[in-house]
Amino acid sequence: MSQWFSRMACVVAACVVSLGAAAEVLTAKVTGGQVEGVAANGIVAYKGIPFAAPPVGALRWKNPQAVAPWSGVKKASAYAPSCMQDAAMLQFMQAPPGLSEDCLYVNVWTPAKAAGDRLPVMVWIYGGGFAAGTTSAAVYDGTRLAEKGVVLVSIAYRVGAFGFLAHPELTREGGKTSGNYGVEDMVAGLAWVRDNIAAFGGEPRNVTIFGESAGGIAVSMLAASPRAKGLFAKAISESGGSFAPSRTGAEGGQLVPTLATAEALGQQFFGKLGAANLAAARALPADAIQQAQGPGLGGGFWPVDDGDVLPGDQYVLYTAGRFNDTPVLIGTNSDEGALFIRGGVTSAAFEQQIRAGYGEHAAEILAANPHATDAEAVQAARNIFRDSAFAWPTWAWATLQSQKGKGAAYVYYFDHRGPQSPNGASHADEIPFVFRNLGGPGATPRPADTAMSELVATYWVNFAKTGDPNGAGLPAWPKFTEQNQQVMFLDAASSARPVPNVAQLRALDAYYAWRRGQAKNH
């Protein structure tokens, strides 16, 4: 009898395992063919699904084209190569080696038990200064965030010269625009999500785009791009935003070049390549282009104000009500500039830099950023980097969204501190907390870290589900309004408080208003 019970127990266990395995979305039919994922601990991961044709050969510097169909079932078990960039950046991001122009792939992590589950969808757009970035960085693994009840997708896009090179020949070829191939990749990836995510148990009408740094800037660009209209329902930007006027020279705090400015850079780059024309540049190997761009985040390539994909100064567009109106959750970190300004700044050098870049508003900006000693100047340089690159665009975005949009704006200030960041949270410090990927080999997170990660991830997922981060047991997070500018401080006593660094932000606001006036008069 005991043997019979043992055999029955085995049968029951086998049935439970079988039922558990069946209650997962292990295969999916997508644009191009069938794909098969890998199941582990209730999450099915699909890696390396193509969403566009490889942008190689004649397709280099062209908008993403339709994916080529395949036969049979494609095993989606490994990340595709990262887009071309400095290989050292992959090591820095703890991503597997492997670079290629053939890099337009998505990854999906789904907790769905059936294709009809219609779970909220979160689509990650990586950062890296638009010169680097990858979906395969360890910290971007979507397993732990998907466990909270969302289908997570990450999209690859071309970076550097491959993604953002403009040139008069390319503009003529494209009809009226060039230089935004990386942004077009994001749009194509979002169209793929719209068309295919239901097969993974996701709800295509409930898509939240989220990204950090260049990825957060890209989120704001998609929020203003007619190309992305209707492709997402909510937006999260971590240390991002693009609300400064377009750049024509070396204006302080302005990053998006006009098409003419970007085309001039492209002509210089062709000269560096020794390419007489577009055909010659397309014939060069990818490594030659990458080498000419240079190491790290060099090269100077950035999305372009082309009047089409990016139709102009986003501040002006929002003021006119010309944007994709959705709820937004946006914010910055307390010591963003620490990653970029490591020291070596003197008081005199800081003052000279501000006077050179900020014109007649330099004195006001200098007054808002004490720099009498060299130690103060280092912190001032960090702060002006934080505020011009991240905090002012976020503040401007939240203000404009609350003024002009129907979707609510929620703003955060991440100031979680630890042994590695005693003076405040540096750039990108929040990412492992969002993805619930704390620690690393041999590293055990502190209880305070784990608690912060659960708080942040819960806020993010609540927002993805409903457009409101609030929920039971969480500190109340009020909407940001022009009259009540409250932000959620994420720190040792997380709560809503007034906007920090407001004197510096107001000084920059006056500067950017002056720059917009100058641009309008030219």
Q: What is residue 522's predicted lDDT score, i.e. its pLDDT?
A: 66
Establish if 53 belongs to a structural domain. no
Q: Is the pLDDT of residue 331 over 80?
A: yes
CA triple 353-358-359, angle to 5 deg: 110
pLDDT band with cut points at 50, 70 and 90 for residue 440: confident
Q: Apex CA 33: angle with CA 32 and CA 39, to 5°?
A: 125
| 38 domain-assigned | no
Report the share of the chain in percent with pLDDT over 70.
95
> How far is Cα 169 from Cα 279, in angstroms, rounded to an integer?
10
CA angle 37, 40, 44 (to 5 degrees): 35
**Residues tagged active-site:** 213, 336, 427
For residue 264, is pLDDT > 70?
Answer: yes
Neighbours of 475 (CB within 10 A): 14
Do the beta carbons of residue 74 and residue 34 sit within 8 Å? Answer: yes
Tell me the average pLDDT across 321-340: 96
Which domain does 451 fall in, by range?
110-521
Residue 515 lies in a domain: yes
Q: How far is CA 72 from the centre of its chain?
A: 33
Q: Say if 497 falls within a structural domain.
A: yes
Exposure b/e, 173-206, CB count within 10 A at least 16 = b = ebeebbbbbbbbbbbbbbbbbbebbbbbbbbeeb
**Matching residue, tokens 């757009």:** 125
**Of 179-193, 238-252, 258-272, 450-464, minimum mean pLDDT range:** 238-252
- When pLDDT is cut at 50, 70 and 90, the band that residue 129 belongs to is very high
Mean of pLDDT values over 178-198: 98
Number of H helices, E strands in the chain: 18, 16
Q: Which helix (H) or strand (E) holds 14?
A: helix 2-22
Is the pLDDT higher at 20 or at 119? 119
* Structural domain includes residue 281: yes
**pLDDT exceeds cutoff 50 at 400:** yes
Residues of the chain above pLDDT 90, percent: 89
The CATH number of residue 492's host domain is 3.40.50.1820
Mean pLDDT of 143-156: 98
CA angle 183, 403, 358 (to 5 degrees): 65
> How confident is the model at residue 518, as a pLDDT?
85
Q: Is the pLDDT of residue 241 over 90?
A: yes
What sections of 274-344 are H helices per DSSP? 278-283, 286-293, 314-319
**Which amino acid would we find at residue 105?**
Y
Q: Residue 35: inside a domain, yes or no? A: no
Torsion angles phi and psi, residue 376, rounded to 5: -65, -35
Q: What is the mean pLDDT of residues 253-257?
A: 92
386 in a structural domain: yes
Sheet holding 27-30, edge to edge: 27-30, 33-36, 73-75
**The two structure tokens encoding residue 4:** 């019979």
Q: Across residues 196-217, what is the average pLDDT?
A: 98
Q: What confidence tier does 253 reach under pLDDT thresholds 50, 70, 90?
A: confident
Number of structural domains in the chain: 1
What is the pLDDT averaged over residues 342-370? 94
Q: Is 7 domain-assigned?
A: no
**Residue 225 pLDDT > 50, yes or no?**
yes
Most distant CA pair in the chain, distance: 94
Min mean pLDDT across 28-32, 234-238, 297-301 is at 297-301
pLDDT at 21: 43
Q: Tell me the CA distances in angstroms from 353 to 145, 248, 347, 380, 391, one per residue in order.
A: 42, 18, 10, 12, 20
What is the chain's mean pLDDT, rounded?
94
* pLDDT computed for residue 18 by the predictor: 34
Asked if 218 contacts 193 with a C-beta cutoff of 8 angstroms, the reply is no
Neighbouring C-beta atoms of residue 223, cutoff 10 Å: 28
Residue 310 φ then ψ, to 5° = -115, 100
Phi, psi of 379 (to 5 degrees): -70, -35
Average pLDDT over residues 164-180: 96
